[in-house]
Every structure is written in C-alpha cells, then in structure tokens.
Amino acid sequence: MDNWLVSYTIYFLYNAARILRDFGDLLLSSTLPQTPLLAINILMILTICYVLYLGIEVLGRTAEVFIVILISLGLLGNLFVYLSGNINLSNLQPFLENGWKPIVTTAFPITTFFPFGQMLVFTMLLPYLDRPESVKKVWLSAIISSAFFLSYTTSLDIAVLSVEEVERTTFPLLSTIRTVDLFEFIQRLDAVIVFTLLITMFFKASIFLYGATIGIIDLFKLKNHQQIMLPIGVISLLLSMAIASNFAEHIEEGLDIMMYSLHLPFMVIIPSFMLLVSMIRNGFKKKDRSKSNVT
C-alpha cells in the first residue's frame, strides 16, 4: 500500500509542476515576454503555498469567490465575441465528414484520462468531506458540466479561427478573444482570458500539490501539513523549471511521452485494477455476511 502511495504522491507532485510550468509559459507568451520564467513561477507557488498553508477549507472558500468572477468573465467574453461578428458557422461544417471513427478514436483513450482522468486527485480529499454521501452527485455534475463547457469552447474557437488555425495555435481561446474589435475601442481583450486561465491553473495546481502533501503526511505520519508546505512548494518549483528546456519541449513531453507512459497507467489502468479488486473483496464480504446470517 505504501508503494502505491509513494507513486501517486510523486505523480501528483509532477502534475503540479507541469501546471506551474503552463502558468509561467502562458504569461511569457501573452503578457510578460521579458520576465524570467523563474520569477513568475516563484510568485505563483508562494501564493499557492500560502493558501494551502491556511487549509483546504480556505482554498474551497476562495474557489467560491472566484467561480463568480470566472462566470462573469466568461459571459462577458462570449458576448464580445458574438457582437464582433467573427463567428463563421461554416467552419464547423461538414459535420461528421469522416463519420464517427475519428471522434471515437480521439475520445478513447486520450480524452478518457486527459483531462477527465485528472479528477482522480480528488480521491485524496474524500476523507475530509463533511458530506461524503453527496460525492457521486457532485462528481457526476462536474463531469457533465466540464464536458459541455470544453465542447462549447472548442466549437467557439473553431467557428472563429477555423480548424487549421486551432490546430496550430498554442492557446486557441486566447487567439479567439484577440479577434474582438468593437467600435475600434473594445479590443485586445487578452487580459480577460489570461486572468481566467490563471485562476483555473491556480486551483488545479493547488489541488494536485495538496494531494501530494496529503500523501507525504500519510507516509511519514506527520501531524499537520503546515510544516512541509513550503518545502513541497520549492520542490514543485524546481521540478517545473527542470522538466523541459523550453515550451515546445514541455508540450511534446506532455502530449507524446507522458500521455501513455505515465498518465494512462496512473489514471486508468491502476485505478481500474484497484476498483476490480475492491469489487471482488466486497463480493466476498457480502457472501460471508449472508452465510453468518443464515447460521
């Protein structure tokens, strides 16, 4: 059991470092091209460590505040895109030109574990829930809503930019909002999307980092997480700088190398195996209970 915990702790820490690197590269390519990557990542990891030092409840309450901001920015950004008149629905056609095969082969297995498989990290938080009976409802609603918003955002990007442009662009949503030009006054709304992405990356990195922290606490039988929060943050920071020499290498490593060699085993194969073992064990327990009741 400890071996699995060590493996997943390292895996969560690695994911936190990758998201931190995404954050830094986003700012470098969009708004702060002359700022050192290390300086950007330091500011981000210090903020994350401070919030997690205060506890997971503080992170949750912070999310409650920022979800309102995210929804407001999303509605505002969509309104400007629609009013700009840059949407061309013909970019979405022909629908199902090559049938369902390309869609199915894209959705499975890649989309199965990225990004939806990353919800596995929330299993580290299940013991700390006040109402564990509502987990299934919240999980299912999160999956459905996330799938809807991701599909809608991708469709909007294609309608504005075309399929070829979306495939070439590193941050398609950022390129979509850059097309907005209303009255030669409302334009260059990059800050709206950058701020939105930064908020989402902040919470995503925080969850993964906290998952790794919980793993370390269980492994070393520590009393609380506060004493190790900053050292873990420093490790994540150094790892984010060391995983790739540039952004192109970072993307290639994430999509081509780690997708099948790391994400597939940790997000699909191992959890499926553990679920099967758990179902078999529960089946034997029910049989033993039924026999004991009969006797």
Task: Band the pLDDT of 294: cuts 50, 70, 90.
Answer: low
Domain chopping of the chain, boundaries: 2-257
Specify the pLDDT at position 293: 61
Specify the pLDDT at position 4: 81
Phi, psi of 282 (to 5 degrees): -65, -35
pLDDT one-digit tens code per residue, 141-175: 888 888 888 888 988 998 998 888 888 887 888 88
Token output for 156: 């909007």
Please give the full DSSP string across the chain, using - where no structure is assigned. Answer: -HHHHHHHHHHHHHHHHHHHHHHHHHHHHHT-TTS-HHHHHHHHHHHHHHHHHH-HHHHHHHHHHHHHHHHHHHHHHHHHHHHHT---GGGG-STTTT-SHHHHHHIIIIIHHTTGGGGGGGGGTGGG-S-GGGHHHHHHHHHHHHHHHHHHHHHHHHHHH-HHHHHH-SSHHHHHHHT-EETTTEE--HHHHHHHHHHHHHHHHHHHHHHHHHHHHHHHT-S-SHHHHHHHHHHHHHHHHHS-SSHHHHHHIIIIIHIIIIIHIIIIIHHHHHHHHHHHHHHHHHHHHHHHHH-
Specify the pLDDT at position 207: 93
Give the Cα separation of 208 and 121 in Å (integer).
6
Taking all residues of the chain, what is their mean pLDDT, rounded to a whole number?
85
Contact between 179 and 84 under an 8 Å Cβ cutoff? The reply is: yes
Q: What mean pLDDT do residues 13-29 have?
A: 90
pLDDT one-digit tens code per residue, 115-148: 777 888 888 888 878 888 888 888 888 888 888 8
Whether the per-residue pLDDT at 65 is higher than 70: the answer is yes
Specify the pLDDT at position 292: 63
Specify the pLDDT at position 266: 87
Q: What mean pLDDT do residues 271-289 have?
A: 81
- Choose among 4, 11, 53: nearest CA to 224: 53
List residues bridging with 186 in a β-sheet. 182
Contact between 247 and 37 under an 8 Å Cβ cutoff? The reply is: no
